[in-house]
A and B are shown apart, each in its own frame.
Chain A
Amino acid sequence: MNFDDTPQEAAFRETARKWVEANAPKEFLAELSKSSLGRIRLAQHDIVDVGKAWQKKKAEGGWACLHWPKEYGGRGATPIERVIWQQEEGVYGKLTQPFQIGEGMCGPTVMAFGSEDAKRRYLPKLASGEEIWCQLFSEPSAGSDVAGLRTRAEKKGDNWVVNGQKIWTSGAHYSDFGLLIARTDPNVPKHKGLTMFFLDMKSPGVEVRPIKQANGMQEFNEVYFTDVVIPDSQRLGAVGEGWSVSLTTLMNERMSIGSRLATGVPEMFEFCSNLTLEDGLAIDDPAVRSKLASWAVKSSGLKYTSYRAISALSKGERPGPENSIGKLVSGMMLQDIASYAMDLQGAAGVLTGSDEETVQGQFQQMLLSSPSMRIAGGTDEILRNIIAERVLGLPGDIRVDKDVPYNKIPTKGR
């Protein structure tokens, strides 16, 4: 048991470190190094512009999507080399946020189901950040039950015509392409009538509208499709096979290995170390200490769980299911920590600062934003189902709509 690199890994790390040292946009180092619990913002610059510049540089140096084959814009790196790169890229990795959906979900799907021409046309530009991709799966009436989606794609000659609405699309407003799952046959059970496509987000009939969220911010979008034409050549997988294609997309979401999720623990520790209560510092209060300790061991538990996954990668093995707990644990913890930090401030805890980077507003913003952490990318309940079914081997839910044609499934509760 050790934390050391193999000689090969150490050599790779050295190369990566030197390259980052020579090429990283150091003017943003201070800003990126500040703790950030939500989305990254830069005071004077658009994250997308700065991110694109960094991603382009990485692509030229052979560090973009490095685990992809060379012909598609990567460097053919091993999974452990990718983790080492992420460690060495450090806080500059925050600049890659606009590309994560593309790298983690859209790219792998194109790689698995696209034609050779499509792969050579789209993947290198996705890798280099020149073109940004978004994912168009969720709908207002199809969230956890995404296979219940309504957006229709109808075949007209060599094209498909799409009508419907998607929601929760991060980055739709700056994306060039989107990965779209739509219903192509409403007369068969819901999982069987879906087909996967990709489309140009500038296509006529695509309308992106930002959503004003519960926390007052606008980070996600609704995307409306009105008679949008998609050539059949942009279909991924067979007609009616969209569900199994989407599983490939979701399976590829392995971004969490090596890149740690925010838990709020370091921020809370610092806050309690500096907050004066009636009887002294908050961190000297037994009740505060007890809560802090419980959160600290969850946070360290997640860290060492990811180390176990990295170790498996290092040995060329597939990581076990342990990593599936990350978002479930950190999402709930963020919400609890925010709430307790405000409790410690008494009545003044109600006051919000102007932004989440000041201490005054940090936990208040965290409280308002944290519900999304427990919903986006799989709700807590879906994650528990996944752990129960795939890890513990418990039976799947009884699905009353499994064998019912899609257009016979009830659409209203009452």
Chain B
Amino acid sequence: MNFDFSDDQKQLRDQARKFLTEKCSPKAVRVVLDGKAPYDKELWKGLAEMGFLGVAIPEEFGGAGAGHLELCVIAEEMGRANAPVPFSSTVYLAAEALLIAGSDAQKKKWLPAIASGEAIGTLALFEGKGNPSPKSIKLTAANGALNGVKKPVADGAIADFAVVAARTGSSGRESDISLFLVDLKGGGVEVKSLTNLDPTRGQAEITFKDCKAEPLGAAGEGWSILTQVLDRAAVLCAFEQVGGSDRALEMGRDYALDRIAFGRQIGSFQAVKHMLADMYVSATLARSNSYYGAWALSTNASELPEAAAAARISATQAFQHCAKNNIQVHGGMGFTWEFDCHMYYRRANAMALALGSLSYWEDQLIDRMRKKNAA
């Protein structure tokens, strides 16, 4: 059994950590947090130059052709650094949708542009409140034109193209849903930025009015493709969340060692020690579940749906837990804008909703476990 990343993959992790420590300091994150830039363009360019944006994109489409395990490694570091770039939208959602369902021409057009940092992509799925479901998709596609409104769309205001989920039938079945590819710089699109919990990753409302779109994948296959995309993204997001959990735990630990109260390090009080120990437990469970997700993702195993849901739930819980208690360990200072704790708290709680909420994934996990037990 070798349920661990390889030495090469660990080396890649070290390289990514070093790069992000230099190029993505909390100070750099704050430029986006404070609304001075929509995302960190320099960092995005650097990520492209390092080959991180295309790490899982095949060489024939301009990527590094490494694989999903390597992408998991990068994702963890992006989460640690709280990177203010459209990485998850572009790399986990748009690129994966193209890899799963794109035609050769579509892949040739967009994937090299993603790898080189020239194109930002996203997935336009949600239409207001609610979790992913075929029923919730009202935006229509007819005669190659889209009509309807998507919100929230992660990184929608800075994206060059979007994968859009649209209704192409009214049978009440999953086959009513098809996917389309839209060049957001073309006509028929109106984009509005929305304020949100985590300003380091933008959210937008996109209105499509007779917008020209080309199909992505076969008609009626949209929901099945989306499910696969969301499962893959669940594993990759889980690694970001694991990275964020670890960083929040470290921040809390370091502060507990530095801060003196009642004449001693606050980390010597059991109330604080035990809180940090519980954070470690959550982070460890999340990491182990995510490793299993990484294995399933990288081998395209039949266990992926269950593994992805477990990784997603465990990592969401861990990041929320660690980010929340990191503030608690810091006391009043943790509640200042000046300290970085709130950036992780914001990111943890925004990520918890990004692919559908925790309760949605809990529901998915139970369905998938039942399916397996029945088989």
Residues of A at the B interface (CB closer than 8 Å) are 1-5, 9, 269, 273, 283, 286, 289-290, 292-294, 296-298, 300-305, 307-308, 310-312, 314-315, 322, 325, 328-329, 381, 383-385, 387-389, 391-398
Contact = CB atoms under 8 A, between A and B. Distances in A.
B105 interface: no
A398 B273 CA distance: 13
A398 B264 contact: yes
Nearest to A4: B1
A188 to B, nearest CB: 25
Smallest CB-CB A-B distances: 9 pairs: A301-B285, A293-B362, A388-B273, A304-B288, A384-B277, A387-B277, A395-B268, A394-B267, A297-B314
23 contacts: A1-B5, A1-B291, A4-B2, A5-B1, A273-B373, A283-B366, A293-B361, A293-B365, A297-B314, A301-B288, A304-B288, A305-B285, A307-B1, A308-B288, A325-B284, A384-B274, A387-B277, A388-B274, A388-B276, A392-B249, A393-B257, A394-B265, A397-B270
A278 B70 CA distance: 49
Nearest to A320: B284
Interface residues of B, number: 48
A283 B374 CA distance: 14
B256 interface: yes
B284 A305 contact: yes
A393 B369 contact: no
Nearest to A328: B281
A4 B299 CA distance: 13
Interface string B257-293: 1000000110110101110111011001110110110
Contact of A307 (B267, B288, B366): B288
Given A301-B284, A304-B291, A394-B256, A314 B359 contact: no
Contacts of B363: 286, 289, 293
Contact of A286 (B253, B257, B280, B359): B359
B289 A301 contact: yes
Contacts of B314: 297-298, 300-301
Contacts of B361: 293
A131 to B, nearest CB: 34
Given A5-B1, A308-B288, A314-B1, 7 more contacts: A1-B4, A269-B373, A293-B361, A293-B365, A303-B288, A325-B285, A395-B265
A392 B365 contact: no
Given A297-B313, A388-B274, A394-B273, A311 B284 contact: no
B1 A2 contact: yes
B4 A311 contact: yes
B313 A2 contact: no
A283 B370 contact: yes
B295 interface: yes
B286 A301 contact: yes
Given A392-B277, A392-B280, A1 B285 contact: no
Determine chain B's interface SS by DSSP, over half rule: helix
Given A3-B3, A391-B280, A394-B253, A381 B359 contact: no
Contacts of B295: 1-3
A387 B280 contact: yes
Contacts of B257: 393-395
Nearest to A306: B288
Nearest to A305: B288
A395 B267 contact: yes
B88 interface: no
B310 A296 contact: yes
B1 A292 contact: no
B286 A388 contact: no
B274 A307 contact: no
Contacts of A312: 4
Contacts of A395: 257, 264-265, 267-268
Contact of B313 (A293, A305, A307): A293
A392 B288 contact: no
Given A307-B1, A392-B276, A394-B273, A298 B366 contact: no
A307 B365 CA distance: 21
Contacts of A301: 284-286, 288-289, 310, 314
A5 B2 CA distance: 8
B369 A269 contact: yes
Contact of A394 (B3, B268, B365): B268
Contacts of B278: 384
Contacts of A289: 362-363, 366
B258 to A, nearest CB: 12
Nearest to A311: B3
Contacts of B272: 394
A310 B288 CA distance: 13
Contacts of A311: 1-4
Contacts of B253: 392-394
A272 to B, nearest CB: 9
A385 B44 CA distance: 42
Contacts of A328: 281
A292 B366 contact: yes
A385 B267 contact: no
Contacts of B313: 293-294, 297
B1 A329 contact: no
Interface string B346-375: 000000000000010111011001100100
Indicate the member of A297, A305, A314 with the most B CB atoms within 10 Å: A297
